[in-house]
Structure formats: structure tokens, C-alpha cells
Amino acid sequence: MHTARSSAAPRRRFAAVAAPLLAAALLATAACGDGGKNTPAAGGKVDLTIGTFGEFGYKALYDEYMKANPNVKITERITKTEDHHKNLAAHLATNTGAADIESIEEGWVGQFSSQPGKFYNWMDYGGAEIKAQWPEWKWRQGSAATGEVIGLGTDVGGMAMCYRTDEFAAAGLPTNRDEVSKLWPTWEDFITTGQKFEDAVKAGKVKNAHFMDGPAVMYRSILGQQSVGIYDGDKVVVETNPGVKKAWDLTIDAMNKGLSAKIAAWSNDWNAGFAKGTFATLACPSWMMAYIQSQAKDSSGKWDIAAVPGGGGNWGGSFLTLPKQGKHPQEAAALAKWLTAPEQQAKVFRSVGNFPSTVTLYQDPVIKDFKNPFFSNAPVGEIFSKSVTSMVPQYMGPKSGDINTAVINGLTRVEQGKQTPDQSWAQVLKDIKAIM
């Protein structure tokens, strides 16, 4: 449920060749349109469907819920991340085929929250009483610019800085995670540290490595820390907002100073880079830990995790929504509220590792004492909790994803030497106008 739509870098990794099939899918949907509607079965039973993607870790919870509520029958439909969101859009457009509960990933939530009329408003279903469970920013992400709340938070990503201890040691930098965190309270300090690292590379102390992977993840991390991002309310403010330009300028500065390995996130070279140590740092949300482990199985113990520069941050995480097509909003709301309640989030974390979005859980030993042996036993529960609680709320608009792609393309053009930073920024603004 995490990897999903990273507004950094190609978001459509799993889209593959799904597009041509979508037309067919739409037709199929029209043909068997009532797949998502609940028809109360005999004995007054309520059939609830829930649409998820990736791994939400809800399997065991359904059984538990059905045991406690014998009048409810739950069916889960799991689809690939990309397809799930595109299908959901089609189902909402055709007003048929959506499940009673539909999950939405952070990268897409802006697109859907721009049409709050398609969903039941959580404020009408007891949202106000449970609002305090979530950090303010998570609640805001699930809300429309006009105030309706369409999504309850499931998990979050948090943000930290993953780094290679072996390469830091070779470069003469500290390797202890607390000392490393102290190296970069701000992104400017991060760049200064990077220059020291690159000096060591030039001196031959570290071989075949750069300080960071490429521009996308760094840009995405800095942007996420600004109080105003792509959108101010429902207006796109990239051109006038110093926050976006700050993220752009810092990333350009890092590239100009030669810190970047010039690798696009999610590319083959990126995947290979984890194992070969091509880059010494990578800003990483909690779900990235599993990704790094799968790409660099042999480098256990070489990675560690420190705090991210510039304070908190988040990347990824999902929401549960109730499409208005659903015939049993009361029952669906009860189930979704139960699934996102703290006890259930703790269970999900224990079984599949999705980082909870419930603030109170961060004091719970389950999270607080959680260490990851692959990352030199870093207390990742504590690190990610800290970043989540100190994160500033930022509104995600309907075009956030596409606009971020345009900005990251602009950074990539500079990196590939196709344009100067100024030329590229001018083209970014032009591209954004075309998207609007």
C-alpha cells in the first residue's frame, strides 16, 4: 500500500500496459455494473465490499470483525496500485462499480478530494469524535479544499535519512546515527556534508560513489516540509510560492556541487545502486526500508538511519473513503472506523509493518521499541514517529502529482545537461500551465 505514487519520479511504475486494457475494463464494468452494490442477502445480512491495493494487512481483521458482527459479510478486492486508482476514477465517473469502502493512496488523494460530492462526508459519520486520533496534516490530506472530509488515515510514511555507514567511515564522516543527525539540522548543512563526502571521493578514499542518488527524492522531501506547497487553498502557486522555489534551488545547488549520482528514482540503475553503494544517502520513508532490503540483500548492516534534515516529513500512506454509490454507508462507516482505530493499526503494524497514523500509538512499546536489524538496529519506530509528529500540514490539490512530475522532469533536464536551471524553470512553469 505504500510504494505507490511517489510524486518523486515516475509514479506509474505498475501501470505497465494497463492503459489499453482500461477501455475493455470500462466496458466490463458497465456489463456487470452491480458488482460493488450491496444487496442485503437473506437473513438481513449486509454485504460490504472494500477495495484495496498492495498489502493493507486487513485479512485477519475481517474475520475478527465478522465474528463480532455476524450480520456483516466482508469481501475484499485487491488490485495493483495504479490500476486500483484508475479503476476507482472510472467507477466514480460512471457512477457504478465502486466498493463500499475504497482506499486511496496519498499521491492520488488530491485528485479525488477535488470531487468531494462523490464521497460520503466523514463529518456526517462521526468524524469529529475521532479526529484527534490523527496528526493534523493527515486529517487535512483526507479533506477537500471546501472542508468535506473524504478519507480516514490508515498508515503514513514518515521521513528519515538512510545512509551507508561503510562509505561514511571511508570518507572520514561520523557513522553513529545521532552524530550523523547532528551533521544536518538543515538542508544547507546536508549539502555542506555532501561536499565533504565528495572531497573524499575525489581524494580516492571512497570509490564509485556519490553523496545522493538524484534530484527527485531530495526535492520531494524538502517540498513536503513547506507549510505551503504546490497549492494554496485550491490555487496552484508554484510560480509565486517561495517554498517550491526553495526546494528547487536547494536541489539545484546540490547537483551543481556534484553531490548527485544522477540516477532517476525507481530506474534500473537506482535499484542496482542500492546494492553497489552508488549513493551514500537517500531520504527514506518507512516503507522504503523494505524496498532497500529487497534491492540490496547483501548489504545488511551497511545501512543506518538518521533524522531527515529540515525537521519532519512524510511520503506515502493511505486513506479509507466511502463512495456515495454505496448503499450501506452506516455499516461501511462503522467498519472503516474500526479498521483505522488505534488497536487495529497496531495489529497491522505488527503483522505487515505499515507504519500507523495514530499519534497515541507512538508512545506504545510496539512502535517505540521497534528496531530494524538490517539498518544496524536503528530505532526506526522512534525516528519515523518523530518525523510524523513534527510534520507541517500541507494541502494536496488535484494536480499535485502531475505538477511534481513536471518539476522533477525539470530538475532531470538540468542534471542531464539539456538546459540551464533558469531555462528549465521557465519550461516547468510553461508545462504547469499546460497541465492546468
Cβ proximity to another protein: between 98 and 283 the closer is: 98
29 binds another protein (CB under 8 A): no
Q: Which three cell numbers stand for residue 423?
A: 531555462
φ, ψ of residue 132 in degrees (nearest 5): -65, -15
Cβ proximity to another protein: between 188 and 269 the closer is: 269
Q: How far is the CB of 264 from another protein (least distance, A)?
A: 6
Among 8, 90, 156, 336, interactor with another protein by CB under 8 A:
90
Cβ proximity to another protein: between 25 and 130 the closer is: 25
Among 53, 58, 112, 184, interactor with another protein by CB under 8 A:
112
23 binds another protein (CB under 8 A): yes
Q: How far is the CB of 296 from another protein (least distance, A)?
A: 14
Q: For the residues of 60-121, what is the DSSP string, one character each?
A: HHHHHHHHH-TTEEEEEEEE-HHHHHHHHHHHHHHT-S--SEEEEEHHHHHHHHT-GGGB--
Q: How far is the CB of 204 from another protein (least distance, A)?
A: 20
Residues near another protein (CB under 8 A), total: 48
Residue with cell 496534516: 137
Q: How far is the CB of 6 from another protein (least distance, A)?
A: 11
Q: Which three cell numbers stand for residue 138?
A: 493527515
Q: Which three cell numbers stand for residue 427?
A: 519550461
Q: What distance, in Å, lies between the first and last C-alpha atoms of the chain?
A: 28
Q: How far is the CB of 116 from another protein (least distance, A)?
A: 11
93 binds another protein (CB under 8 A): yes
410 binds another protein (CB under 8 A): yes
Q: How far is the CB of 231 from another protein (least distance, A)?
A: 16
Q: For the residues of 189-254, what is the DSSP string, one character each?
A: HHHHHHHHHHHHHHTTSS-S-EEES-HHHHHHHHHHTSSS-SEETTEE-TTT-HHHHHHHHHHHHH
Name the pairing type of β-strands 101-105 and 46-53: parallel
Binding site for another protein (CB under 8 A): 9-17, 19-20, 22-23, 86, 89-90, 92-93, 111-112, 115, 117-118, 263-264, 266-269, 272-273, 276, 278, 399, 401-402, 405-406, 409-410, 412-413, 416-419, 434-435
